[in-house]
Structure 1
Amino acid sequence: MTEKITILLAEDHALVRAGFKSILQAESDFEIVGEAQDGLECLEMVRAKSPMVVLLDLSMPKLSGLNAISHIKKRYAESKVIVLTAAETPGVWTEVLDLGVSGIAMKSISPKELISGVRKVAKGETFIHSEIQPILEAETGMGSKKLSVREKQVVKLVAEGYKTKEIADMLEISDRTVSKHRENLMTKMGATSTAELTNYANESGLTKVGLQEIE
């Protein structure tokens, strides 16, 4: 029998917490082992339950999310933390990454991406919500010149003539995220037009492979 991914939900708003719980507990490989309403309760439950993954709201009463992360990483490093935030604050995102969190997600994240992210983090990988990554790269300079899989997919679809809305639907991300990816691509590649992105896609062979084949 496959070991279940144990999850602690730390969110002070009951309605929001219930929404995440409903999404996650529907997965057969997930087990919700606790729910915390504040930062102190979160630490106590991490100590008692040793969850594999902690979904942690940054804006928590009694003990802030940032302080809770510091305690968890120092005392209970086996528990991986995914930060949940409702605000676009790249400075804070950088700070929590420096503290050693395994993931960052906006509360607007889709159920499908959240589920995928939890599984990635449980395997020891890092997860950054697709809504956040292009903003983080653009505003903090964290991106590398090497294109990510998502950026390659966007380049391929742009080269094939798809519009922003169509690309967003195909990749199951927002129109805004597609636009951010395009902006980042233009900057990374020093491109000045869609034609240059198309040339790159053709020359690199991206237009000859399927989306799922891109690595």
Structure 2
Amino acid sequence: MNELVKVVVIDGHTLVRYGLIGLVGTEPDLEVIGDSGRRAEVFGMVLSERPNVVVLDVSPPDLAGLRVARDLRHQYAELGIVLLAPEGQDDLLFSALESGVSAFVAKSAPTDEILAAIRHAAVAPTSFTATGLGPAMSRRDHSTTQTLLSPREAQVLDLLGQGLSVRDIAVALSVSISTAKTYVARLYEKLEVSNRAQAIMTALQRGLLAPKV
């Protein structure tokens, strides 16, 4: 018979904490061995109870839970750490990824996702999982690309999307053909493409150009 996964629950919201305890307690392979509403108590509990997984809440603007998670990871390399946070917190998700926790789950997630995160943390504590990680990364890449494009480069992209040649772009912007070529080359470099077709396709995929209707 496999050993039970020992879980400690830390959440400052009493109802949420008791709900998690009740949820975990119904699972035959999981066992809550400690809980607290104070994050500072988690270190003593980990030291004395030796849990496999700690479930820890973190809520903006107070990111104490994230700092506690980082300290736990630094001290206990094989400890499973699950962060519970409000939904739609992309920045917090990426901070959790960088901190080395095992899983990041929205408090509004279905119960099976929360339980899956705990089980993942128990067997792969150093491997990160998070529902919605893919879409979050796409949003970050999109935002980064938009930030990288200067207003002039965004204008050049729009003109390329309209089908203008480099010569026509030079006329539209009242610059020399050489300068227009430089703008286009810089745009290609930032989009990591080598021609107009690739630039337009990439821009459409990243939402930098509106599709023609």
**TM-score band, normalised by shorter chain:** 0.5 to 0.7
Given the two structures, how large is their TM-score scaled by the length of structure 1?
Answer: 0.60
| 2:54 counterpart residue number | 54
Residues 123 and 26 (structure 1 numbering): CA distance in 2 closer, same or farther, change over 3 Å? same
Cα distance in 1 between the residues matched to 2:109 and 2:85: 10
Matches within 5 A, 1:43-192: 43-59=43-59, 64-124=64-124, 125-129=127-131, 132-141=132-141, 187=205
In the alignment, the residues of structure 2 paired with residue 12 and residue 3 of structure 1 have an alpha-carbon distance, to the nearest angstrom, of 29
User: How far, CA to CA, are the matches of 2:26 and 2:138 in structure 1?
Assistant: 35
Structure 1 segments (4+ residues) deviating >6 Å: none
How far apart are the structure 2 equivalents of 1:75 and 1:11? 21
CA deviation after TM superposition for structure 1 residue 119, in Å: 1.4
CA contact (8 A) 1:36 1:45 kept: no
Q: What is the CA–CA distance in structure 1 between the aligned matches of 2:121 and 2:76, rounded to whole Å? A: 15
Query: Contact 1:39 / 1:65 at 8 angstroms: preserved in 2?
Result: yes
Say which SS state the counterpart of residue 32 (structure 1) adopts: strand
Amino acid at match of 1:128: A
1:22 corresponds to:
22
Helix, strand or coil for the counterpart of 1:22? helix
Unaligned runs of 5+ in 2: 143-203
Q: Is the 8 A contact 1:24 1:115 kept in 2?
A: yes
Change (3 A) 1:36 1:187: farther
Deviation at 1:63, TM superposition (A): 8.5
TM-score (norm 2): 0.61
Q: Which amino acid aligns with 1:45?
A: M
Q: Paired residues, what number?
A: 144
Partner Cα distance (1:85, 1:97) in 2:
13
Q: 1:126 to 1:63 in 2, by over 3 A?
A: closer
Unaligned segments of structure 1, at least 5 residues: 143-185, 194-215
Paired with 1:76 and 1:112, the residues of 2 have a C-alpha distance of 26
Larger Cα-atom Rg? 2
Q: Name the residue aligned to 1:5.
A: 5
- Partners in 2 of 1:137 and 1:27 — Cα distance? 32
**Root mean square deviation of aligned Cα:** 2.6
Aligned match of 2:31? 31
1-structure distance, mates of 2:38, 2:77: 20
Structure 2 vs 1, CA of residues 63 and 76 (structure 1 numbering), >3 Å: closer, same or farther?
farther
Distance 1:49 1:72 in 2: 14
Partner Cα separation in structure 1 for residue 128 and residue 93 of structure 2: 13
Letter in 1 for 2:3: E
| 3-state SS, counterpart of residue 51 of structure 1 | coil
- How many angstroms apart in 2 are the aligned matches of 1:16 and 1:187? 40
